């Protein structure tokens, strides 16, 4: 484990009040450096799956995805927008078999309408200051784990929270436990960035900050919790460039996958291109062109996050090179990946098949 120690006095006071002991904001500019590129990523097609119902709308703002009980789970950023009361929200699911049939029929089938899963908040949202929605979801051993994002007077703060998954007569309900909610230190002072992805592995919950590049977050870490969300410390995080917007376990949780995304408007992350390990050309990537990737990561013997050995996939871009804000990723065993965008350029659910 490594502990971050750089922090301004005022921020120390703020985070000590929260019971947190580490923070770091900003790094000196990265000089142009020679980076030995990793293996070239395979080019991968993006096969769109048409949706019907509430998740089709751009304002669904889907922010995470996961596989649970042979279903694809879609997490809207604001589940509370879909509830029947102030203490209820909804997330959504699609049976994988339904998705498989849709793909086999070449997309000629009717649009897929996700089913609803009720979330009971139990007062969780009542006392959160600056609530900005849910960011990620993962499931394990009868629990659902979520990260949330808030923006208060002192800046961004993330949280992780647990819910109990109840299944009865084919109906799933997730009952959140407000007492489990635990704050997570932001690793930069960037607006709208907290812990954006979550992974469950070997009885531990691991959360990932969104910006881990060398130019903005040199001493990047992941945060680790037990299933009661007691903090277990931090582990080192490889300087993953641009944005990490979701993660999903592969055949084992120690070898997993993540979305790597660069939006040309993110000028504060553009310098990450100087140390982009997948860039194969001379100089740096063209910052006017989006980067959309699914790449492999792994947990090493010391518990730190490193680049994986399985390479990854560079997603085929739209002809007009409009950026797609991929925020949800789910590894589909023996098939490929299911990915979903936030509201830009609209809600897009897609399938990315494994390469050869």
Q: What is the pLDDT of residue 30?
A: 41
CATH, residue 57 = 2.115.10
For the chain, the domain total comes to 1
Mean pLDDT of the chain: 90
24 pLDDT more than 90: no
Asked whether residue 2 is assigned to any structural domain, the reply reads no
Q: How confident is the model at residue 199 (pLDDT cuts 50, 70, 90)?
A: very high
Least Cα distance to 329 among 273, 263, 250, 262 occurs for 250
Q: What is the pLDDT of residue 35?
A: 53
Asked whether residue 161 is assigned to any structural domain, the reply reads yes
Asked whether residue 148 is assigned to any structural domain, the reply reads yes
Q: How confident is the model at residue 355 (pLDDT cuts 50, 70, 90)?
A: confident
Asked whether residue 14 is assigned to any structural domain, the reply reads no
Q: How confident is the model at residue 281 (pLDDT cuts 50, 70, 90)?
A: confident
269 vs 242: CA distance, rounded Å: 6
Asked whether residue 7 is assigned to any structural domain, the reply reads no
107 vs 351: CA distance, rounded Å: 11
Answer with the residue of higher pLDDT: 132 or 24. 132
With a pLDDT cut of 90, the percent of the chain lying above it is: 84
Least Cα distance to 233 among 74, 62, 73, 20 occurs for 20
Asked whether residue 151 is assigned to any structural domain, the reply reads yes
Q: How confident is the model at residue 36 (pLDDT cuts 50, 70, 90)?
A: low
Q: What is the pLDDT of residue 215?
A: 97
Contact predicate 158/147, CB 8 Å:
yes
Question: Integer distance in angstroms from the first to the last C-alpha of the chain?
Answer: 37
49 vs 340: CA distance, rounded Å: 10
Asked whether residue 21 is assigned to any structural domain, the reply reads no
Mean pLDDT is lowest, of 36-45, 113-122, 187-196, for 36-45
* Rounded average pLDDT over 322-350: 97
* Rounded average pLDDT over 162-190: 96
Asked whether residue 202 is assigned to any structural domain, the reply reads yes
Query: What pLDDT, in 10s, does the model give residues 219-268?
Result: 999 999 999 999 999 999 999 999 999 999 999 999 999 999 999 999 99
Boundaries of domain holding 284: 36-353
Q: What is the pLDDT of residue 280?
A: 86
Tell me the C-alpha to C-alpha distance, in Å, between residue 351 and each of 70, 133, 313, 330, 333: 16, 25, 13, 10, 12
């Amino acid at each position: 484990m490594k502990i971050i120690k750089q922090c301004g006095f005022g921020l120390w006071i703020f985070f000590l009040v929260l019971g947190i002991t580490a923070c770091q904001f900003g790094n000196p500019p990265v000089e142009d450096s020679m980076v030995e590129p990793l293996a070239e990523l395979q080019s991968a097609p993006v096969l769109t799956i048409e949706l019907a119902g509430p998740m089709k709308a751009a304002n669904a703002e889907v922010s995470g995805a996961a596989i649970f009980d042979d279903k694809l789970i879609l997490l809207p950023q604001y589940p509370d927008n879909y509830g029947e009361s102030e203490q209820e929200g909804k997330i959504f699911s699609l049976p994988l078999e339904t998705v498989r049939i849709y793909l086999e029929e070449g997309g000629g089938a009717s649009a897929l309408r996700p089913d609803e899963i009720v979330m009971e908040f139990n007062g969780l949202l009542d006392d959160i200051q600056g609530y900005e929605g849910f960011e990620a979801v993962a499931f394990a051993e009868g629990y659902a784990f979520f990260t949330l994002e808030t923006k208060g007077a002192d800046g961004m703060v993330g949280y992780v929270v647990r819910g109990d998954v109840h299944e009865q007569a084919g109906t799933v309900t997730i009952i959140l436990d407000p007492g489990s909610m635990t704050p997570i230190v932001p690793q930069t002072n960037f607006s709208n960035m907290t812990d954006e992805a979550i992974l469950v592995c070997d009885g531990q919950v691991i959360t990932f900050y969104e910006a881990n590049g060398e130019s903005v977050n040199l001493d990047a870490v992941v945060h680790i919790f037990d299933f009661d969300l007691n903090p277990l410390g931090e582990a080192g995080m490889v300087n993953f460039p641009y944005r990490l917007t979701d993660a999903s376990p592969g055949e084992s949780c120690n070898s997993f996958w993540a979305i790597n995304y660069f939006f040309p408007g993110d000028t504060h992350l553009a310098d990450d291109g100087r140390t982009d390990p997948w860039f194969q050309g001379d100089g740096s990537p063209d910052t006017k062109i989006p980067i959309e990737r699914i790449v492999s990561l792994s947990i090493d013997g010391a518990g730190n996050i490193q680049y994986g050995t399985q390479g990854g996939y560079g997603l085929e871009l739209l002809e007009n090179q409009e950026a797609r804000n991929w925020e949800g990723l789910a590894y589909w065993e023996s098939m490929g990946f299911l990915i979903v965008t936030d509201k830009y350029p609209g809600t897009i659910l897609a399938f990315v098949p494994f390469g050869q």
